Structure 1
Amino acid sequence: RLGFAYAAIGKRKEALTWLERAIKENTSSTNLISLAEILGLSTDAFKPPKQDQEKALLLAKTACDKDYDNNNPDPENLFVLAQIAIELERQEETCQASAKLLEKYPDLMLTHYYSYACAVYQKNWIKAEEEIQKAQSLGLPDETAKKILGSGISTEASIWRYAFYTFYLTSIWIIGLVALFILGKMFSNLTLKAVESFDPNTPNPLANNLRKYYRALINFASFYYYLSMPIVVFLVVALAGSIIYVFMILGRIPLKLAAIVIICALLTVVAAIRSFFIKVDSSDPGRNLKEEEAPALWQLTKDVAQAIGTRPIDEIRITPGTDIAVYEKGTWREKSQDRAKRVLILGIALLNDFNQNAFRAVLAHEYGHFSNRDTAGGDIALRVSNDMVKFAVAMALSDQAVWWNLAYQFLRVYDFIFRRI
Structure 2
Amino acid sequence: MIHIPSLKSTTKKIPIQKLAAPNMLYLPLTTYKGTLSTIVEKDSYVKKHQKVAASEGVFASSIHAPASGYIRGEVNIDNQSYLMLENDFKEVAIPAKQFTINNITEDEILSTLLDFGIEGSGGAKFPTHTKYNTGSKPIDTFIINAAECEPYLSADYTLLKNYTKQLLEAIQLMQKVIKASAIVFGIEKQHKELKPLILQTAKNQDIPVKIKLLPNEYPQGGELQLIKSVTGKEIPKGSIPANYGIVVSNVGTLWAIYNAFYKGTPYTNRIVTISGEKAENIGNYEVAIGTPVSYILETIGLTWNATSQTVILGGPMMGKAVQQPEIGINKGSGGILIIPNPTNKRYNCIQCGYCVDVCPQHLMPMEFARYSTTEDILQLKNFHVNDCIECGACAYICPSDVPLMNSIFKGKELLKATSL
TM-score by length of 1: 0.19
Greater CA radius of gyration, 1 or 2? 1
Bigger proportion of residues as strand: 2
Bigger proportion of residues as helix: 1
Determine which structure has greater relative contact order: mean sequence separation of CA pairs < 8 Å that are 6+ residues apart, divided by chain length. Answer: 2
TM-score by length of 2: 0.19
